[in-house]
Amino acid sequence: MPINANSRLKRLRQALDSAGAGTLLETHLPNIFYLCGFSGDSGALLIEPSSATLFTDGRFTIQAKEETSDIRVHIHKGPILEAVGGYLRARKRQSVAVSPARLTLAGWKALRKAAGGHTKWEAIDGMVESLRAVKDAGEIDRIRDAARLGSEVMEEVIRLIRPGVTELDIAAEIGYRMRRKGASGESFEAIVAAGPRSALPHARPTARRIGKNELVVLDLGAILRHYCSDLTRTVHVGKAPTRVRKWYQAVLEAQTAARDALRSGITCAAIDHAARNVLQSKGLGRYFVHSTGHGIGLEIHEDPRIARDQKWVLQAGNVVTLEPGVYVEGVGGIRIEDDALVTSRGAEILTTAPREFLEL
């Protein structure tokens, strides 16, 4: 489904009007893709009240014309922000909103110098990201397909886990199998962590060999047609001790509580509390060291964030992860993660890999 640039730019202009700003300079590449469909790795998009101009360089002349419509394409030589500044210098005095979080200090200085003194700058962070948080039907279809692909790969690589195989072996299989199924890449470097290393929530795979009688955490995601998926499963090599079984059941119950609470109109903090309360009631609260989830879409981490301090009210069309975990130093970790679409009726789980505890 093609990008509906006109509709998205219209919504953005309405948001700009509400914020008292007329023009926005967007430099974050995922936001540029969202607004106009351009997927090159060098660009800036200037959205004015009645027009939009994409600035890029000669490497992307053909691509920009093929991927966009109803916007101007400005091909330049030299730094992009200097080209934007030169364009603004030639315009009438105007106010331009920028996102400070997306500009380096050097880039900001170059932009201001090139634009001259007649441009008034306004700082506005997160405007496009807020629009992106509510997915349209086309985006949901893409995420659903990415979730299906990631789930298929998860089920396949779990069957490869056995003593003697390295974490890097499994990670390599994940990337290979994703591309064989049509993914353009991985949403992030896959996490494959065995034994005591599974207690590291963001462990990177190493040459360590998987041993007998230990936990293995696998966290992976696929990029399919620009959109991401993200899921985690935990397995045990050999028969698991009673305490590990209890930990796994507690994490599963925590995720189920978050899933059952998820719906439009509820705050992100309430979802986090639903999961965290289960683990606290079982004496495991101190081992849950991160938030319950985050939004996914064009990026693997985007709004909204499912955390205890987040007052964001969920809307139908938000897509988030639900990923409570328990991490015990010296023993290992357990995390279960799925992707969920927020609806007015509740949660639609998009990932399909089984959640039952597996002893391999």
Residue 5: band (very low, low, confident or very high) from pLDDT cuts 50, 70, 90 = confident
Residue 22: band (very low, low, confident or very high) from pLDDT cuts 50, 70, 90 = confident
Q: What is the mean pLDDT of residues 105-109?
A: 96
Q: What local confidence, expressed as pLDDT, does residue 4 receive?
A: 79
Tens digit of each residue's pLDDT (9 = 90 or more) over 37-96: 999 999 999 999 999 999 999 999 999 999 999 899 999 999 999 999 999 999 877 899
Residue 18 has pLDDT above 80, yes or no: yes
**pTM to 2 decimals?**
0.95
Residue 3: band (very low, low, confident or very high) from pLDDT cuts 50, 70, 90 = confident
Determine phi and psi for 335, rounding to 5 degrees.
Answer: -140, 140
- Could you give the CA distance from residue 11 to residue 80 in angstroms, rounded to a whole number? 26
> To the nearest whole percent, how much of the chain has pLDDT over 90?
94
On the question of a cis peptide bond just before residue 304, with omega within 30 degrees of 0, the verdict is yes
- Could you give the CA distance from residue 64 to residue 156 in angstroms, rounded to a whole number? 38
- Could you give the CA distance from residue 42 to residue 65 in angstroms, rounded to a whole number? 14
> To the nearest whole percent, how much of the chain has pLDDT over 70?
99
3-state secondary structure the chain: CCCCHHHHHHHHHHHHHHCCCCEEEECCHHHHHHHHCCCCCCCEEEECCCCEEEEEEHHHHHHHHHHCCCCEEEEECCCHHHHHHHHHHCCCCCEEEECHHHCCHHHHHHHHHHHCCCCEEEECCCHHHHHHCCCCHHHHHHHHHHHHHHHHHHHHHHCCCCCCCEHHHHHHHHHHHHHHCCCCEECCCCEEEEHHHHHCCCCCCCCCECCCCEEEEEEECEEECCEECCEEEEEEECCCCHHHHHHHHHHHHHHHHHHHHCCCCCEHHHHHHHHHHHHHHCCCHHHCCCCCEEECCCCCCEEEEECCCCCCECCCCCEEEECCEEEECCCEEEECEEEEEECCCCEEECCCCCCCCEEC
For residue 28, the tally of other CB atoms under 10 A from its CB is 18
Pick the CATH number of 137-359 from 3.40.50.300, 3.10.310.10, 3.40.50.2300, 3.90.230.10: 3.90.230.10
Residue 1 has pLDDT above 70, yes or no: no
Residue 216 has pLDDT above 50, yes or no: yes
Q: What local confidence, expressed as pLDDT, does residue 254 receive?
A: 98
Q: What local confidence, expressed as pLDDT, does residue 2 receive?
A: 58
Q: Token digits for 338?
A: 């799925």
For residue 101, the tally of other CB atoms under 10 A from its CB is 10
Tens digit of each residue's pLDDT (9 = 90 or more) over 300-320: 999 999 999 999 999 999 999
Break the chain into its structural domains and give their ranges.
5-131, 137-359
- Amino acid identity, position 84: V
Tens digit of each residue's pLDDT (9 = 90 or more) over 315-327: 999 999 999 999 9
Q: What is the mean pLDDT of residues 278-284?
A: 98
Sign of the CA dihedral running 138, 143, 146, 147: negative
Tens digit of each residue's pLDDT (9 = 90 or more) over 131-183: 999 999 999 999 999 999 999 999 999 999 999 999 999 999 999 999 999 99
Mean per-residue pLDDT of the chain: 96
Q: Which CATH architecture has domain 5-131?
A: 3-Layer(aba) Sandwich (3.40)
